[in-house]
């Protein structure tokens, strides 16, 4: 174990330690320790790349997030972007600006969480940068992956009449955060949806391989905001049937206490489920899709997003999606 004070941990020493733990991969010709990582390319594959920021006080709160879970989440939310294209994640690049009060034990916990999660998805840490932060802890992760030529699923492919599907269940992460912010302890399954999201990589790959999705993204800003992104990029609208929203038993129980919580499933965000459109009107014939997907609505011509209540009236949502810039 490392118990030295943060001031004694130099940039080079930290990089040396991470480098020792980073592992290897067949496609990685040269990893951490030079000016650039060097990787093989394949002509029949296209390169996918995405960058995510995680800033203390904006995206996470160390009062209720462990450094280990934060390391895991930094990986999962980034891989979720590769999943959202139907791709295979391969390499991660990690940049961390670290406040002085974080000791090297905590840094080690973060690194362990990060590397364990990467290993779970067979992804290698191929490079990065570290320095002191004069303010909050700041994490920037870049992921690279591949997808067979022309098979990436974009946001722009939805057409009127396409069915709208979502994987897993919605709102659990936002409900857990709401409870944490109110000083309550959410049950562990709920807390895990917030602290330890899963990237739906295998599902995304299935949808791409079978060409089942016309448009797709992962839900980070909330169902309605993210459906809005598909609608905008595809120049279409959408209608959601509220009765069809996939909700966990725990979420349904919380909903009975406070019906307003339905908005957490619509706009809470950080679900990291896949939201996609499909020409196939009934995907229940595809049990290989895991987690199970639920049809929640239909793409429309009118360029607006509507939520239909069970009584057929339109539902007015009380809050917008999450804006990291607000």
Sites for a second copy among residues 76-95 (CB under 8 A): 81-82, 84-85, 87, 91, 93-95
In whole angstroms, the minimum distance from the beta carbon of 13 to a second copy comes to 8
Residue 268 within binding range of a second copy, rule CB under 8 A: no
- Of 130, 148, 206, 300, the one binding a second copy by CB under 8 A: 130
In whole angstroms, the minimum distance from the beta carbon of 234 to a second copy comes to 12
Residue 138 within binding range of a second copy, rule CB under 8 A: yes
How far is 136 from 98, CA to CA, in rounded Å?
A: 7
In this structure, the number of other CB atoms found within 10 A of the CB of residue 281 comes to: 10
Please name the residues in contact with 242: beta carbons below 8 A apart, sequence gap of 6 or more: 262, 307, 308, 309, 310, 315
- Of 172, 218, 263, 270, the one binding a second copy by CB under 8 A: 218
How far is 137 from 196, CA to CA, in rounded Å?
A: 19
Residue 205 within binding range of a second copy, rule CB under 8 A: no
Considering only residues 279 to 318 of the shown chain, the ones binding a second copy according to CB under 8 A are none
Residue 48 within binding range of a second copy, rule CB under 8 A: yes
Structure tokens at 72: 């895991």
Residue owning tokens 């709160």: 61
Q: Nearest CA to 175 among 304, 285, 263, 272?
A: 263
Residue 98 within binding range of a second copy, rule CB under 8 A: yes
* Residue 238 backbone dihedrals phi, psi, to 5 degrees: -155, 150
Nearer to a second copy, 67 or 216 (CB): 216
In whole angstroms, the minimum distance from the beta carbon of 12 to a second copy comes to 7
In whole angstroms, the minimum distance from the beta carbon of 40 to a second copy comes to 6
Q: What is the largest CA-CA distance in the chain?
A: 64
Residue 132 within binding range of a second copy, rule CB under 8 A: yes
Q: Are 41 and 29 in contact (CB under 8 A)?
A: no
Residue 65 within binding range of a second copy, rule CB under 8 A: no
Where b means 16+ CB within 10 Å and e means fewer, 248-275 reads: bebbeebbeeeeebbbbbbbbbbbbbbb
Nearer to a second copy, 175 or 217 (CB): 217
Nearer to a second copy, 102 or 247 (CB): 102
In whole angstroms, the minimum distance from the beta carbon of 134 to a second copy comes to 4
Considering only residues 1 to 20 of the shown chain, the ones binding a second copy according to CB under 8 A are 7, 9-12, 14
CA 225 to chain centroid: 15
In whole angstroms, the minimum distance from the beta carbon of 168 to a second copy comes to 17
Q: Are 280 and 164 in contact (CB under 8 A)?
A: no
Torsion of CA 183, 188, 191, 193, to 10 degrees: -160
Residue 210 within binding range of a second copy, rule CB under 8 A: no
């Amino acid at each position: 174990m490392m118990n030295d004070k943060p001031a004694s941990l130099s940039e080079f020493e930290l990089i040396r330690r991470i480098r020792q733990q980073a592992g290897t991969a067949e496609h990685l010709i040269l990893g951490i320790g030079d000016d650039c990582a060097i990787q093989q390319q394949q002509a029949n594959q296209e390169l996918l790349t995405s960058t995510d920021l995680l800033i203390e006080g904006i995206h996470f709160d160390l009062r209720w997030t462990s450094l280990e879970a934060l390391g895991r989440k930094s990986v999962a939310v980034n891989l979720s972007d590769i999943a959202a294209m139907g791709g295979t994640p391969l390499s991660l690049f990690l940049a961390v600006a670290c406040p002085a009060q974080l000791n090297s034990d905590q840094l080690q916990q973060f690194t362990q969480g990060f590397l364990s999660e990467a290993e779970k998805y067979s992804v290698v840490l191929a490079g990065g940068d570290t320095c002191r932060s004069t303010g909050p802890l700041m994490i920037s992760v870049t992921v690279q992956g591949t997808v067979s030529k022309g098979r990436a699923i974009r946001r722009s492919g939805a057409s009127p009449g396409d069915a709208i599907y979502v994987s897993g269940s919605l709102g659990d992460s936002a409900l857990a955060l709401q409870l944490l912010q109110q000083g309550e302890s959410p049950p562990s399954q709920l807390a895990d949806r917030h602290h330890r999201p899963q990237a739906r990589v295998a599902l995304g790959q299935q949808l791409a391989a079978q060409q089942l999705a016309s448009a797709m993204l992962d839900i980070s800003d909330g169902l309605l905001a993210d459906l809005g992104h598909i609608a905008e990029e595809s120049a279409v609208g959408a209608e959601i049937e509220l009765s069809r929203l996939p909700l966990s038993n725990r979420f349904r129980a919380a909903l009975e206490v406070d019906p307003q919580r339905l908005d957490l499933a619509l706009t809470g965000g950080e679900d990291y489920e896949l939201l996609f459109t499909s020409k196939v009107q009934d995907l229940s014939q595809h049990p290989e899709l895991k987690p199970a997907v639920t049809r929640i609505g239909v793409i429309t011509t009118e360029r607006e997003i509507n939520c239909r209540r069970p009584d057929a009236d339109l539902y007015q949502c009380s809050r917008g999606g999450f804006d990291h810039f607000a």
